[in-house]
Amino acid sequence: MSRTLVLVVVAALLSETWGVPLSSGSSPRAPNHFPDGFYLGAATAAYQIEGGWNEDGKGESIWDHTLHAQPNLTSDGQNGDVAADSYHKYKEDVKLLVGLNANVYRFSLSWPRILPTGDTDNINQAGIDYYNNLINELLANGIQPMVTLYHWDLPQELQKLGGWPNAVIADYFVEFARIAFENFGDRVSRVGITLNIDWYEPVTSSADDAEASDRQLQFECGLWAHPIFSREGDFPEVVKLRVAANSRKEGRTRSRLPTLSPAEVNLIRGTADFFGINHYSFSLATSGSSGSEPSKTYDSGVVTSVFDGYPNSFWISDIPWGLRKLLNWLHKSYPGYPFFITENGWSDPPGVLNDTARIHYYRGYLSALLRSINDDGVPVIGYTAWSLLDNLEWMSGYTIKFGLYSVDYDGPERPRTAKASVPVMAQIYKEKAVPLEDFENADTTPPS
C-alpha cells in the first residue's frame, strides 16, 4: 500500500475542551512543557488490533477478504482474524492507557462491524454497542476518545462495486459517518482529516533541490491538504501544471488530475476543523525522474533517498528536526488551523522489550514538537503515539512491532507486557513535559 496515498478521516469525539489553548498562554511556560490542556495519548486501528473478524454480525472487510484469499500477501502469512483481540480485551486496553497517563485515545471504527454490507438497511447493533462500550470506558477513565472513521477496512460488499475509485462509495461513506455521528455524536464536536507526511530535506542548498523538496511535499501532502486548508483552495498549482504537462506528453487530451469547478473548490475549502498528521520519517529530495509512467511519483519529478548518519529501522529514520521543519512548513502553508499529531512511532523487530531505540525516538520527536509549539509558535493541540500495542502491521503481518506494549501472539489470551518505553512515556504524559536533560540533548535543530 502506498504510504503517500493514505487518507484517513477522523472525527474527534470530544467535549468542548477540544478548544485547548494553542501556543503561548497568559503565563510563561518552560520550553520543555506542553501547553495546558494538551492531549497526549496513543493510537491504534480496528483491523490491526480488534480481531473478532466475523463475530456478532460483523461483515467482511477488504482486508479480511484479501488476506483469507491470499495469505502469502503478509510476510508471515498471518492476518487480523484475532489480532490483539481488542474486541474482547478493550477494558484491559483502557487500563494500559491509564498506565500511560494518556488523556486521549485514537482508535478507528470498523465500518463492516457497524454496517456489515456497507448499506444502511443492515445496521449491526452489536457493533455500535462495542464502540459505545469502549467510548464509555474511556470517558469513565478520564480519556478522551478520538475516532478515525476510516482506517482502510472497507466493507467487501462495497469493494464489489469497485471500491473507492467508484464515486458512489463517497455516498456510502456519508451514510456511515451519519450513523457514527447519530450513535456517538453526543460526544462528537469536531471533524478533521489525517494525512501521512514525512519530511523531505533538500539534498544540497541549491534552489533546485529546495524546489524538489517543496514539490515532493506538494505531491504528498498538498494534493490532499491544499483543497481543504489553503486560503485559495483547489489542488496546488505545481501539481496541476506537472500532471497536465505529463498528460499531454502521454497523448491525452485532458489532465489525469480532475479539474475542480469553482463551486467544488468552495465546497471543499475549510471543511476540517483540525489537521491531523501521521509523521514517522525523513528523506532527502532532489530533482530527477523516478516511478513508472503514469504515476504520482513520476509526476512529482523528485528522487528521494535515506539520510545517512541517523538511527534507522525498516523505513523509519530517527531525525526529530524533520518534524519541526514539517510543522513549520505546514503552519506557513495553512495558517489558521490547529494541528494534531495523530501518529508518530518507531518499529522494532519482534522480541525487543528493552526498546531503547523507541525511547530515543520518542524523546527526540516530543522535544521537536515542543520546540515547534513553544519556540516557533505552531498551534499543535495533541499527540497520539503509534501505537498502544504491537499489532498487525499490514503486509508485514506481525513481523514489525510498533507497540509501547508488547503482545504475545503465541498466547491464546494475547497477553500484554509493558516495554521499557512505557514508564518513560508515562512520566512525560504525567508531567506534561520532556525531562529537561533529554529535551536539551534532542536533535531538534538541523545541523548547520
The footprint of ligand BGC (CB under 6 A) covers 6, 45, 48, 196, 278, 343, 386, 393, 402
DSSP track, 78-147: --SSSTT-HHHHHHHHHHHHHHTT-SEEEEE--HHHHSTTS-TTS--HHHHHHHHHHHHHHHHTT-EEEE
User: Least CB distance from residue 161 to ligand BGC, whole Å?
Assistant: 24
User: Least CB distance from residue 19 to ligand BGC, whole Å?
Assistant: 26
Closer CB to ligand BGC, 337 or 398, in the complex: 398
Closer CB to ligand BGC, 255 or 313, in the complex: 313
User: Least CB distance from residue 217 to ligand BGC, whole Å?
Assistant: 17
Cell numbers that stand for 38 in this block: 494538551
**Residue 183 near residue 133, CB atoms below 8 Å:** no
- In this structure, the number of other CB atoms found within 10 A of the CB of residue 179 comes to 18
| Backbone torsions φ then ψ of 104, nearest 5 degrees | -150, 145
Q: Which residue has the cell 462509495?
A: 169
Closer CB to ligand BGC, 39 or 150, in the complex: 150
User: Least CB distance from residue 63 to ligand BGC, whole Å?
Assistant: 11
Q: CB under 8 Å, gap of 24 or more: what pairs does 175-178 form?
A: 175/115, 175/120, 176/111, 176/114, 176/115, 176/118, 176/120, 176/149, 177/9, 177/11, 177/149
User: Least CB distance from residue 256 to ligand BGC, whole Å?
Assistant: 25
Closer CB to ligand BGC, 218 or 281, in the complex: 281
Closer CB to ligand BGC, 45 or 303, in the complex: 45
**Residue 349 near residue 390, CB atoms below 8 Å:** no
Bridge partners (DSSP) listed for residue 43: 106, 386
- In this structure, the number of other CB atoms found within 10 A of the CB of residue 116 comes to 21
Closer CB to ligand BGC, 158 or 388, in the complex: 388
Radius of gyration of the chain (CA): 21
Q: Is the peptide bond before 145 cis (omega within 30 degrees of 0)?
A: no
User: Least CB distance from residue 216 to ligand BGC, whole Å?
Assistant: 17
Rounded alpha-carbon distances, angstroms, from residue 379 to 17, 313, 432, 447: 15, 30, 16, 25
Cell numbers that stand for 127 in this block: 457493533
Closer CB to ligand BGC, 281 or 374, in the complex: 281
Please report how the helices 86-99 and 125-140 are oriented relative to each other, as an axis angle in degrees rounded to 10.
Answer: 10
Residue nearest to ligand BGC (CB): 278
User: Least CB distance from residue 275 to ligand BGC, whole Å?
Assistant: 15
Q: Which residue has the cell 524523546?
A: 363
User: Least CB distance from residue 302 to ligand BGC, whole Å?
Assistant: 20
User: Least CB distance from residue 75 to ligand BGC, whole Å?
Assistant: 13
Closer CB to ligand BGC, 315 or 375, in the complex: 315
**Residue 337 near residue 381, CB atoms below 8 Å:** no
Q: Which helix (H) or strand (E) is 407 found in, with range?
A: strand 405-407
User: Least CB distance from residue 195 to ligand BGC, whole Å?
Assistant: 10
